[in-house]
Structures are given as C-alpha cells and as structure tokens.
C-alpha cells in the first residue's frame, strides 16, 4: 500500500437508510430499489444521471448487480457486485471512488440491502460458503454464533477480557441508539446488569452479544467534489482507505484482522493519526470484533482493548464516541446493509445529517468493516477515513 494513489477530487454524499423491519415479505430487490429512489430524492438527480452501480446483498437469489439494471430500467457504464458482507461498504466506496477518478463513471450509487423472511436467515447460513457447509453446518453449528463464540472465548483466555468489558460496548451503543428511529432496539434501555444476566446463546456469548437479523438498506453516492458542490450537496472527502483479504491466515484462530497490516498506510495517506479521529464506526456483529478493531486500528495495543474500554466513554457525548447510531447491536443487522452501516453513519456524522444524535464537533470519522465469516475468522476487512467538507 506504500505510495498508494490518494482519493483527491472524490466526494461521498447523500447518506440514505431504508427503515429496518424485523420481518418483511418484500424481496431484497424492493429494499435496494427503495434505496435508489431515496438517493435520487436526496440528491435531486434524475435516474439517468447514475452511470455507476455497486451493490451488496445476500438475499437476491440468483440475481446480482447486472440483473438489477433491468429491474430498475438503468443502463450504467460501470457496475460492481460485492457479496462481501461486513466489509462491503468500504469496498464499494473504494471501487466507486476509483471509477470516478478514472472517468469510468460520473456518479455511482452504492447500495446494500436485504430482506428478512421467515426462512431467509436459515437458508443463508445453511449454504453460506463451502467452508461453513462442509465443516460447520453438518455438526449442528450453523450460523455465526458458534464461530464468534470460539473467537470470543479465545480472546478472553488470551487477553484476560471479561464479559463486562464487552458489555460496555453493548450498553454504550444502546445509549447511543436513543433518538434513532431506525434502531429496532433503541427504545429498550440496556444496563450492564441486564447484559450480564441475559441468557446464554453459545457460551461465552449471551443474548445481547448477538445482532438481531432484520430487513433494510443503506446507501450513498460517490461523485466528483466539483459535481457535489454544483449540486449543493453536503459531502465528505476520503482522506484514506484500505482493504485486506484473508489476513494473517497462518493464525490458528482470528485474534487480529487486516487493519493491523495496513493501518500505517491508512494514516500516512490521510496525513493524520488515530488521535485526530472524532468518532469511530466499527462493524459490530459481536463485541469481540469491536475490540479487535479498536486495537488493530491503532487506538491501543493488541490485547489492551479491555483496559481501553474500562477507561473510556463510548457514548456520543463521551471521550471516545463509537457507533453513534447504536450500531447493529441496537439497530439490527439488515444483511449486507450491516456492512454499509459504518460508512453511512460516518458520512452522516461528518456532514451533520444524523438520524439520531450528533457527535459534537465531528469532522473526521473512521469507518471499518469485517466480513465473510468461514469457521474460524472473517476473510475481508477494510477501513476508511472521511472528512466533512463545509
């Protein structure tokens, strides 16, 4: 990544969220199409102006981005398909930015959306990957809970973390979710006692360590900063961005992610360090993954997240604002849209367009993602630094 080209001249704008629903009989196509409509409404653009389309979804069936162009009567000259879950938001942003820089597209709609029918989640985990279907599902451990229970247990043993340390993440995010109409659990207060007393799901994971599957969509637009200014759109610029896949594959079990490989390049490209970050938006399917991101993104050393969490206030008004909308642990996990949520929330904060509460003085936000779980780790990771432009 040394000497990587910067993202000069690119703007990220028009954060969009299609309200989450615990269950829906509408297909993923509806949620993605609704997000496209909302992007046009937010930007004032006509659909024909969108000449790039990047999509992430798990429940489109046999369809991908190319099929959606027919569903939506579009004729883009650049498309991207990103079935990479928790890392898809950063990946979509990076690819769309390069397309704009290279002249392959003028305006790219980046959208992630999924439905949540009665069988959609069980169907997904049954055949999520060859690794999971061959090595996990036949033994009754389908789905991510068993995998992340293994990762969490190993982290606790290796680094002395306690359940209460992870509880600080969940409780702070529930506090942050107050006032966010899109947080499915935002109206339900959560105390550390509630967290610790919750029933076990897959030890050491208990109820409030696990996200709530739901339906919904998240989206944003990528275009030149000149065009964003001409349209009068609030926007952010990309100070730096990284991604890495199958990082540290020699580790017997995930204790670190690709951020640790590339964070120095991220901060070098941005020309700033972790101390300049006003709010952090991490992919939070389980609290242990938040702890790993805090460490691997350079806010503390490896194994030091438990002490870091005890020493800092992660609420919107605290000294380390984290997942200011409540994250997936309070909003729910709308399939692949969960991978877009950190980027969309980072964009909302630095452009002063929150759904709920605004982080005071937020100008620089770091969003990170982690996706595509197999049976002992996730394979994709990424991070982006966004700066709000006046």
Domain residue ranges in the chain: 10-119+217-230, 138-210+236-389
Q: Flag the least confident range among 222-231, 289-298, 329-338, 373-382.
A: 373-382
Strands 235-245 and 378-389: antiparallel
Which of 167, 175, 172 lies closest to 195, judged by CA?
A: 167
Is the pLDDT higher at 139 or at 43? 43
Question: Could you tell me the end-to-end alpha-carbon distance of the chain, in angstroms, rounded to an integer?
Answer: 29
Predicted local confidence at residue 377, as pLDDT: 83
Give the DSSP letter string of 229-267: HHTT--EEEEEEEEEEESTTTTSSS-S--THHHHHHHHH
Tokens representing 307 are: 């002490």
63-68 long-range contacts (CB < 8 A, ≥24 apart) are 63/29, 68/29, 68/32, 68/33
Return d(Cα 188, Cα 206) in angstroms, integer. Answer: 17
Tokens representing 234 are: 């609030």
If you count them, how many residues does the chain have?
390
* CATH superfamily of domain region 138-210+236-389: Thiolase/Chalcone synthase (3.40.47.10)
Predicted local confidence at residue 141, as pLDDT: 63
Predicted local confidence at residue 117, as pLDDT: 78
Q: Please determine, for residue 1, whether its predicted confidence score (pLDDT) is greater than 50.
A: no
Helix pair 88-102, 337-350: axis angle to 10 deg = 70
Predicted local confidence at residue 178, as pLDDT: 95
pLDDT tens-digit series, residues 25-63:
999 999 999 999 999 999 999 999 999 999 999 999 999
Predicted local confidence at residue 127, as pLDDT: 59
Predicted local confidence at residue 375, as pLDDT: 72
The class that CATH gives domain 10-119+217-230 is: alpha beta
Q: Flag the least confident range among 78-82, 116-120, 173-177, 339-343.
A: 116-120
Average pLDDT over residues 304-331: 98
pLDDT grade, residue 372 (50/70/90)?
Answer: confident
Report the run of H or E that residue 366 belongs to, with start and end: strand 364-373
pLDDT grade, residue 376 (50/70/90)?
Answer: confident
For 157, residues 6+ apart whose C-beta sits below 8 A from its C-beta are: none
Average pLDDT over residues 68-77: 98
Average model confidence (pLDDT) for the chain? 94
Average pLDDT over residues 317-323: 98
pLDDT tens-digit series, residues 219-266:
999 999 999 999 999 999 999 999 999 989 999 889 999 999 999 999
Predicted local confidence at residue 146, as pLDDT: 86
Is the pLDDT higher at 352 or at 374? 352
């Amino acid at each position: 990544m040394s000497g990587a080209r910067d993202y000069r001249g690119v703007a990220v704008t028009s954060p969009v969220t299609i309200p989450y629903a615990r269950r829906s009989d509408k297909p993923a196509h509806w949620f993605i199409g609704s997000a496209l409509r909302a992007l046009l409404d937010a930007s004032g653009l006509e659909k024909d102006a969108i000449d790039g389309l990047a999509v992430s979804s798990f429940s489109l069936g046999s369809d991908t981005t190319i099929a959606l162009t027919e569903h939506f009567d579009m004729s883009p000259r650049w498309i991207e398909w990103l079935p990479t879950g928790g890392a898809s938001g950063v990946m979509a942003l990076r690819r769309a930015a390069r397309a704009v820089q290279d002249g392959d597209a003028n305006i790219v709609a980046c959208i992630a959306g999924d439905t949540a029918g009665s069988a959609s989640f069980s169907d997904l985990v049954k055949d999520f990957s060859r690794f999971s279907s061959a090595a996990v599902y036949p033994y009754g451990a389908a789905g991510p809970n068993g995998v992340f229970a293994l990762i969490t247990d190993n982290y606790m043993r290796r680094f002395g973390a306690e359940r209460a340390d992870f509880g600080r993440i969940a409780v702070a995010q529930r506090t942050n979710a107050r006032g966010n109409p899109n947080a499915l659990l935002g109206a339900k207060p959560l105390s550390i006692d509630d967290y610790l007393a919750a029933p076990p799901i897959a030890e050491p994971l208990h109820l409030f360590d696990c996200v709530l599957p739901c339906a919904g969509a998240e989206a944003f637009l990528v275009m030149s900063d000149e065009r964003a200014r001409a349209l009068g759109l609030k926007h952010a610029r990309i100070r730096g961005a990284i991604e890495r896949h199958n990082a540290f594959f020699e580790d017997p079990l995930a204790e670190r992610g690709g951020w640790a490989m590339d964070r120095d390049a991220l901060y070098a490209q941005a020309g700033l360090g972790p101390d300049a970050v006003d709010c952090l938006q991490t992919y939070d399917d389980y609290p242990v993954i938040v702890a790993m991101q805090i460490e691997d993104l350079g806010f503390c050393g490896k194994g030091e997240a438990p002490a870091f969490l005890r020493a800092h206030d992660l609420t919107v008004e605290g000294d380390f604002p984290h997942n200011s909308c409540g994250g997936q642990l309070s909003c729910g996990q709308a399939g692949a849209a969960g991978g877009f949520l950190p980027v969309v929330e980072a964009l909302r904060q630095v452009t002063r367009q929150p759904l709920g509460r605004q982080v005071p003085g937020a100008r620089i936000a770091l969003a990170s993602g982690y996706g595509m779980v197999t049976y002992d780790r996730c394979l994709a990771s990424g991070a982006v630094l966004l700066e709000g432009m006046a």
